[in-house]
Chain A
Amino acid sequence: MAQDGSISMRRPLKLLQGQTALLPGWLILIVAYIGTILWTARISFTASRSIPVDTFVGFDQYARLFRSNRWVQSVENMLLYGSLFILGCLIIGFLLAVLLDQKVKGESVFRTIFLYPYAVSFVVTGLVWQWVLNPSLGLQKAVRDLGFENFTFDWLVDRDRAIYVLTGAAVWQASGLVMALMLAGLRGVDGDLWKAARVDGASAPRYYLRVVLPLLKPSIFSSVVLLGVAVIKSYDLVVAMTSGGPGNATELPAKFIMDYLFGRQNLGLATAASVVLLVTVIAVLAPLAYVQSQRARRIRT
């Protein structure tokens, strides 16, 4: 930074313009990000219902939150949905990328097909799958009409299984993203490695699992971060596909918060829930960021 800063240092007037250009950025950071987070945190310690009040109640809202079955189930759902979603996308994305890496004809056509769901919104994704999985007229009926009269696939309305079809729809939407990131990573793998592996007598699956997969760590890392953020923010998909039901079977924290902020007018509880979500994100990200910075330092020295 110092070596290039010297030019601007000599001309403080010009430097001022550089600072002025950053004003919108600072405004967004300080008011819209930090300010609102602090405000949200403040409300979470009050007894606010439909309007914010200044009656401080300590951690009461947090205690109530974790006594709420709906919240506890939302968190459990998120853990299940999140881990299956990330794992599903990674496996399917990696397999598709490996298949596409075999010098196939029409690679770009396949790539376009695998990635197009990522271009459509979660609302569209949710509505399409809601229709496909419609128990009376969708997939179940289509298969029954083929002669399999006892075929049952009503997971969308099954309390114990709805979360899996929600996950399936999300995997359909996002695994193309992993495919694209992994494919970009695969193209950076030195072709001589394969020759060496073959000399050692390795089969193709073994080569991909033992040699290539470890080299794709950066792609895997990026994918996990992007998908993880998507899990925490998951709202539209649930609203469109199941509205959280049946019962609370597909309720997720982001939707819980929105419902209590705007529908049920319980600001204290909703803000407490968003602070919990925020702390979770920080708790997951901080160690990752630390590992990354340590690695960067090791590379530099």
Chain B
Amino acid sequence: MSSRPLFPAHAEGPRPARLNLGRLALYLCLIAAAAAFLFPLWVMVTTSLKDMEAVRSGSIFGWPAQPSLEAWKSAWTSACTGLTCEGLRGGFVNSLLILVPSVALPVALGAVTGYALSFWRPRGGKLLFGGLLIGLFIPYQVFIYPLVRILSSVGLYGNIGGIVAVHTIFAMPIMLLLFRNYYASLPMDLFKAARIDGGGFWTIFRRVVLPMSAPIIVVAVILQVTGVWNDFLFGLIFAGSDNLPMTVQLNNIVNSARGAQEYNVQMAATILTALVPLIVYFFSGRWFVRGIAAGAVKG
């Protein structure tokens, strides 16, 4: 995580060919690729704006003759998400309730642990760091059953507390990686000066380290917001039936639907669920990339 921008303004590759034909082919390729990437999004949007009659008769590519937000309304308020048919509203609220603590806690924990590891260098720190990093690669299925038992023995199974605990446990490696690498790039002298001035553990963290951590906190928050919002597995197992996140309820709307399939409602629900991470992504592009790149650097 250096301050070097990931994508410097000037490409260093071959100079563009003078031949305009070549440039034209280049742009045609790029536009074709962009169309291929955008096409599912287009289909999602157009389908969600149709009524079922138009879905059945027309092409999935086509723009509806009479666009309407009816499907969006039923996706939000009346689609069946399991036993109840009250739309995705509840799932949205659940996802928010899960999101806030599941972002705040791991980010705080990652920051403090990364700070302790980088600047205080406690004994065993490297072992802890290495051990937690291995956690990045291990399939979750190995942990899940015992974790269900452990969490239920302390009353943290099937409620918001439980799902927050699970998100915290599994976000720890990547959060630690982000913060430790960032702090390792800060000058040690700053820390030494603060030590000579008599600063204690928390004072140095609050006064010296935290004010310099803004960029990495932004990266960590973006990574965690999209990660938690997009989670399906943990929400399904640990949140409990009253707190199922939006992703799980969305999957119920589509895959446990009885009778006639309302594809327009399904696509509206799909967009609604994708909206939060998409908005985060479109407004934070560069930071988002830094997050995924940071995860890859020391992978």
Contact = CB atoms under 8 A, between A and B. Distances in A.
B240 interface: no
B277 A120 contact: yes
Interface in A62-104: 96, 98-104
A186 interface: yes
A204 B14 contact: yes
A188 B229 CA distance: 33
B112 A21 contact: yes
Contacts of B144: 258, 261
Contacts of A194: 13-15
A53 interface: no
Contacts of A291: none
B60 A141 contact: yes
B186 interface: no
Given A189-B13, A226-B296, A226-B299, A236 B289 contact: no
A132 B30 CA distance: 22
Contact of B263 (A131, A188, A239): A131
**Which residue, of A36, A98, A108, A188, has the highest number of chain B Cβ atoms within 10 A?**
A36
Q: Name the prevailing secondary structure of the B interface residues.
A: helix
A15 B122 contact: yes
B221 interface: no
B109 interface: yes
Interface in A216-243: 221-223, 225-226, 229, 232-233, 235-236, 239-240, 243
Interface in B159-209: 168-169, 172, 176, 188, 192, 195, 200-202
B132 interface: yes
Given A180-B293, A187-B6, A119 B278 contact: yes
B275 to A, nearest CB: 9
A57 interface: no
B147 A131 contact: no
A1 B192 CA distance: 14
Interface in B2-53: 6-8, 10-17, 26-27, 29-30, 33-34, 37-41, 43-44, 47
Contacts of B273: 121, 123-124
Interface stretch (B63-71, B96-104, B250-258): B250-258
A156 interface: no
A139 B26 CA distance: 27
A129 interface: yes
A1 B126 contact: yes
Interface residues of A, number: 112
A114 B143 CA distance: 34
Contact of B37 (A99, A116, A121, A127): A116
25 contacts: A18-B201, A24-B113, A25-B132, A28-B132, A32-B143, A33-B131, A36-B146, A39-B145, A112-B285, A113-B38, A114-B37, A117-B37, A131-B263, A141-B59, A181-B293, A184-B7, A184-B293, A187-B7, A225-B299, A236-B232, A240-B255, A257-B141, A258-B233, A261-B144, A274-B141
Interface of B: 6-8, 10-17, 26-27, 29-30, 33-34, 37-41, 43-44, 47, 55-56, 59-61, 109, 112-113, 115-117, 120-126, 128, 131-132, 134-147, 149-150, 168-169, 172, 176, 188, 192, 195, 200-202, 226, 229-233, 237, 247, 250-251, 254-255, 263, 266-267, 270, 273-274, 277-278, 280-282, 285, 288-289, 292-293, 295-297, 299
Given A34-B131, A277-B142, 8 more contacts: A7-B192, A29-B132, A102-B11, A110-B33, A113-B34, A131-B263, A138-B60, A261-B141
